[in-house]
Structure 1
Amino acid sequence: MYTTIRYEVKDGVGIATINRPEALNALNSTVIEDLSALVNEIENDKALRGLIITGEGRSFVAGADIAEQCPLDLAGGRTWGRRGSALFRKIELLEIPTIAAVNGFALGGGCELAMACDIILASEKAKFGQPEVSLGITPGFSGTQRLARRIGAARAKELIFSGKMIKADEAKEVGLVNAVHAPEALLDAAMEMAQSFAKNAPIAVKYSKACIDRGLQMDLDSGIAMENELFAMCFGTEDQKEGMTAFLEKRPAQFKNK
């Protein structure tokens, strides 16, 4: 169905592998189209409980395709940037938890794709960076915004102004990456984490994600008010009744996403 992406669902978790290894999985128009179509599919899959995004071969995504960007003029650059940013925002706004399993290079658009996910897990071989200034451009798929929000403005400026790459251990140290794993253990670790999310009440997980993401854009009092409302809404679900009843009866809960 997709030209540049392999997609499968395993135990309620989607696994999307960007499959353009001959170009280090660089983002060209076809990859962006495939990812957009996949996100639309995922949005409509009410049985899905999580999504893992990874790359084929030795790269996660080694940036956007330079050959496609090189001839762009001002209008073309604006369209290209808006297209990528809109896609990554759609990924960020998915109601289910998303995990980037970064197996290799995550540079430019690849780092930006990883940051659009809720969690970033890295292989020991992974490398991260926003090298766009060495090409005469700024990060274009929201990198200046998400990197600063993840690791703080000063560190983000250092990485973006220098264009340097950092290894997985440094990425973890600065707070970009949640955990670092041996290459052969990365996908299993991502699946284990996704399953730890998926076993819980889907509506409660969805509301918790919304509370965190939306709350970070609000003042504290507004964020607390939103959390109180979503907390209350949980009590109108079957899953709340099942979860608390199962706890009292000392048995595993059987959630139905209702």
Structure 2
Amino acid sequence: MKPLIIIEKKSDIAFLTLNRPEKLNALNYATNDLLLELLDEIENDTSIRAIILTGAGESAFSAGGDIHEFTQSIKQGGDVAVREFVRRGQKMTSRIESFPKPIIVAVNGIAFGGGCEITEAAHLAVASEKAIFAKPEINIGIPPTFGGTQRLPRLAGRKRALELLLTGDRFSPERAYEMGLVNQVVPHEDLIPTAIQLANRILQHSPLATARIISAVTRGLNTTIGEGLEIEKEQFARMLHTDDIITGLDAWIERRKPVYSGR
């Protein structure tokens, strides 16, 4: 049986590829659970410092939740649907959002529903010119369930997000870029090389400082500015007793490139 997610390691980057191209890489429960398991493994693997997440095939990053599967949960009642579908999806996107190593999504095609919500949750995203986005849940009579009603307004603003959420209209990678959903739009053949280049620009810095920045930004977005500044102070304080902070400061003073230990 083919793997639901292909994992490859190249240097210090893990490449995760959603691998249901015949289903447009729809996120069935098993794929969702496997992604969470892989993230746990990668967090504990000190040789991996970043993740690039993409989809198999030429058509889709992910078309979202597996409608046939979650329909059966919905027919079993609200408690089952919330437990099996909603909580599972929200746990997955929250894990991506708060993951301590940078996650870059390479959107190679369709990113609908849950696929769009993964893109919203990821730290960074690069889109192919062939990518296409949508929040189509309203077309089947439900609101988004993997965090789309919360993250998209934070990225795009309330009115632009509501237009997409309430119409289900598709939108281009260029519009996704304008709204802050992706960092770059590139020719299709440049998608993975651009994602790798972006990862390498990050990986030249301290992995500990990277994790502290991700934590401060993720937690601070949901607080007041005052609370956010306290979080920022806390994350700075956590760096004070590390080798990396001394390495970075000494290298700057001596005008040389630092080599971080991650300790």
Q: Give the TM-score normalised by the residue count of structure 1.
A: 0.95
User: Which one-letter code corresponds to 2:82 in the other structure?
Assistant: R
| Residue from 40, 62, 79 that aligns with 1:75 | 79
Task: Report the Cα distance in structure 2 between the residues aligned to 1:98 and 1:230, rounded to whole angstroms.
Answer: 20
Q: Which residue of 1 aligns with 2:21?
A: 21
Q: Which residue of 2 aligns with 1:98?
A: 103
Task: Report the Cα distance in structure 2 between the residues aligned to 1:217 and 1:142, rounded to whole angstroms.
Answer: 13
Map of 1:1-258 to 2, 5 A cutoff?
A: 3-57=3-57, 58-71=59-72, 72-73=74-75, 74-79=78-83, 80-258=85-263
Task: Report the Cα distance in structure 2 between the residues aligned to 1:32 and 1:220, rounded to whole angstroms.
Answer: 34
Task: Report the Cα distance in structure 1 between the residues aligned to 2:140 and 2:181, rounded to whole angstroms.
Answer: 23
Percent identity of paired positions between Structure 1 and Structure 2: 39
User: Contact 1:3/1:34 (CA < 8 Å) preserved in 2?
Assistant: no
Task: Report the Cα distance in structure 1 between the residues aligned to 2:228 and 2:5, rounded to whole angstroms.
Answer: 37
Q: CA RMSD in A?
A: 1.5
How many residues are matched?
258
Q: SS of the residue aligned with 1:252?
A: coil
What is the Cα deviation at residue 106 of structure 1?
0.3
Greater mean deviation of Cα atoms: 68-77 or 109-118: 68-77
Task: Report the Cα distance in structure 1 between the residues aligned to 2:50 and 2:109, rounded to whole angstroms.
Answer: 22
User: Which one-letter code corresponds to 1:3 in the other structure?
Assistant: P
User: Which one-letter code corresponds to 1:54 in the other structure?
Assistant: T
Greater mean deviation of Cα atoms: 164-173 or 240-249: 240-249
Q: Which runs of 5+ in 2 are unaligned?
A: none
Q: SS of the residue aligned with 1:70?
A: helix
Greater mean deviation of Cα atoms: 50-59 or 213-222: 213-222
Residues 6-64 of structure 1 show CA distances to partners (whole Å, capped at 9, x for unaligned) of 11121211110001101110111221122121112112112321111100112000111
User: Contact 2:55/2:108 (CA < 8 Å) preserved in 1?
Assistant: yes
User: Which one-letter code corresponds to 2:92 in the other structure?
Assistant: L
Q: SS of the residue aligned with 2:145?
A: coil
Residues 149-198 of structure 1 show CA distances to partners (whole Å, capped at 9, x for unaligned) of 11111111100100011011111122211110111100110011111111
Q: Give the TM-score normalised by the residue count of structure 2.
A: 0.94
What is the Cα deviation at residue 2 of structure 1?
7.7
Task: Report the Cα distance in structure 2 between the residues aligned to 1:223 and 1:2, rounded to whole angstroms.
Answer: 44
How has the CA–CA distance of structure 1 residues 2 and 152 changed in structure 2, closer, same or farther, with 3 Å as cutoff? farther
Q: SS of the residue aligned with 2:3?
A: coil
User: Which one-letter code corresponds to 2:16 in the other structure?
Assistant: A
Task: Report the Cα distance in structure 2 between the residues aligned to 1:183 and 1:64, rounded to whole angstroms.
Answer: 24
Task: Report the Cα distance in structure 1 between the residues aligned to 2:184 and 2:48, rounded to whole angstroms.
Answer: 24
Task: Report the Cα distance in structure 2 between the residues aligned to 1:97 and 1:132, rounded to whole angstroms.
Answer: 28
Task: Report the Cα distance in structure 2 between the residues aligned to 1:229 and 1:137, rounded to whole angstroms.
Answer: 39
User: Contact 1:32/1:84 (CA < 8 Å) preserved in 2?
Assistant: yes
Residues 205-240 of structure 1 show CA distances to partners (whole Å, capped at 9, x for unaligned) of 111111111111221122222222322332211111
User: Which one-letter code corresponds to 2:124 in the other structure?
Assistant: I
Q: Which runs of 5+ in 1 are unaligned?
A: none
What is the Cα deviation at residue 250 of structure 1?
2.2
